[in-house]
Amino acid sequence: MSWLAWCAAASAADVKPGTYSGTLQGAAYRIDIPDHWNGSLVMLMHGYQPVGAPLKTPMEAADSTPVFLKKGYAVAQSQYASQGWAMADAIADNERLRQYFTHTYKQPAQTFAYGFSMGGLATAATIERYPKAYSGAMITCGLTVSTPDFLARGAVEPLVAFDALIPGVIPDLAAPDSPPAVDPDTIAKAVQAHPREAAVLAKRLEETTETLPTLALYYMALREIEKRAGGMPVDNRKTLYKGYGDDAGLNQKAHRYAGTPGAMAYVGKNVTLTGHIATPVVMQWNAFDPTIPARFHGAYPDQVQAAGNGKWLTVLPPSGDGHCNFTDEETATAFDTLVRKVAAH
């Protein structure tokens, strides 16, 4: 143990262990400080929560929290001031909580960012915006794609393609009177009734016919973002969709939407990644993730490489199937990798 690390661990002994909770500017938070705290902190950023999902008070810890506590790290996590695509709140609330921890308890020897699913996008944006605040970051099962790209390629394209190949299931994506959600069972029945078209969609979207009902999640997220942004955030009037077999036929049938300028600007701000990182980052996905398919996994690594920052990035081999389906041991191993990378730099 280095002299600085020893000093941090020694002074951390003055901080009383326990669980602390409260609210900061409308965002509930939870702080866990373990016995024998090592003086370092993990800022944990959770994934997408549908608007209206029930919340418990005090805030519950994310499932992965004990992994870090057992290693001696304190963990701080914000509930965010809003649900849904709460990127602006997630980034601001996390930073506010980090500063609160520092002022209320002590300056950590090292601070790590960890996010999963949508929290992975917030984590990537956080380390880009606050590079000096973090020693390193870990992202698992992350949707690390800029919001405009996610909406265009992850929500609107598959929904438009589904509607073109299997019409009558997906409502108008921009109409004010369209419902906020679609029943996944309705999509599942349509998939079963149109196996040939469903197979084309599954191949192009890197899913299976069984997982296509997750398009209901994309639809819900898009509608919630439209409400938050004040209009349609994607303009596909000149987009040519490819990889669906009869592309000419599909593009002729595809519903076209005019983007609302203010909404498009909003999603660009919340949030667009740059790939400019200056601290070690470790990323990992499940081998088959029906919620965040493999077509998204390489987006941020490619962006980091293009920005000339590949030396900071480690992408671990994929493991298992499902969304964020990692064991505690896998999470611990990924974090150990990050800690070693930080020490090496």
> What is the per-residue pLDDT across 234-292, written as a single tens digit (0 to 9) for each?
999 999 999 999 999 999 999 999 999 999 999 999 999 999 999 999 999 999 999 99
Q: Do 279 and 331 meet the contact criterion of CB atoms below 8 Å apart? A: no
Are 63 and 176 found together in one domain? Answer: no
140, 183: one domain: no
13: in domain: no
Same domain assignment for residues 283 and 229: no
Dihedral sign (CA 12, 15, 20, 22): negative
300 and 285 co-located in one domain? yes
Instruction: Show the DSSP H helices in 130-271 as ranges.
Output: 147-149, 157-165, 184-193, 195-204, 215-229, 247-253, 261-269
Domain end call among 268, 292, 314:
268
Confidence at residue 6, expressed as pLDDT on a 0 to 100 scale: 46
Question: Where does a domain end: 209, 237, 268?
Answer: 268
The verdict on pTM exceeding 0.85 is: yes
Instruction: Decide if 2 is inside a domain.
Output: no
26, 55 Cβ separation under 8 angstroms: no
In a domain, 11, yes or no: no
Residues 157 and 254 placed together within one structural domain of the fold: yes
At 76, which CATH number? 3.40.50.1820
**Could you tell me if 184 and 214 are in contact, meaning their C-beta atoms sit under 8 angstroms apart?**
yes
Residue 124, domain member (yes or no): yes
Instruction: Give per-residue pLDDT as tens, 20-75.
Output: 999 999 999 999 999 999 999 999 999 999 999 999 999 999 999 999 999 999 99
Are residues 339 and 190 part of one domain?
A: no
Q: Are residues 286 and 258 in the same domain?
A: no
Residues 67 and 134 in one domain: yes
Phi and psi of 251, rounded to 5°? -65, -30
Same domain, 30 and 110: yes
Kindly report, residue by residue over 109-148, the tens digit of the pLDDT: 999 999 999 999 999 999 999 999 999 999 999 999 999 9
Confidence (pLDDT) at 16:
96
Nearest CA to 328 among 66, 35, 38?
A: 66
- Does residue 17 form part of some domain? no
Question: Token pair for residue 222?
Answer: 């898009």
The predicted pLDDT at position 342 comes to 98
Domain count of the fold of the chain: 2
Domain that holds residue 239: 147-268
Q: Is residue 1 part of a domain?
A: no
| DSSP at 288 | B
The answer to whether residues 218 and 327 belong to one domain is no
- Could you tell me if 178 and 252 lie in one domain? yes
| Same domain membership, residue 250 and residue 158 | yes
- Report, as an integer, the average pLDDT of 79-91: 97
**Does 34 fall in a domain?**
yes
- Domain assignment present for residue 167? The answer is yes
Among 268, 291, 323, which residue terminates a domain?
268
Q: Please identify which residue in the block is written with the tokens 């996905």.
A: 285
**Distance between CA atoms of residues 331 and 339, nearest Å:** 12
Whether the per-residue pLDDT at 1 is higher than 60: the answer is no
Q: What is the pLDDT of residues 152-200, one digit of tens each?
A: 999 999 999 999 999 999 999 999 999 999 999 999 999 999 999 999 9
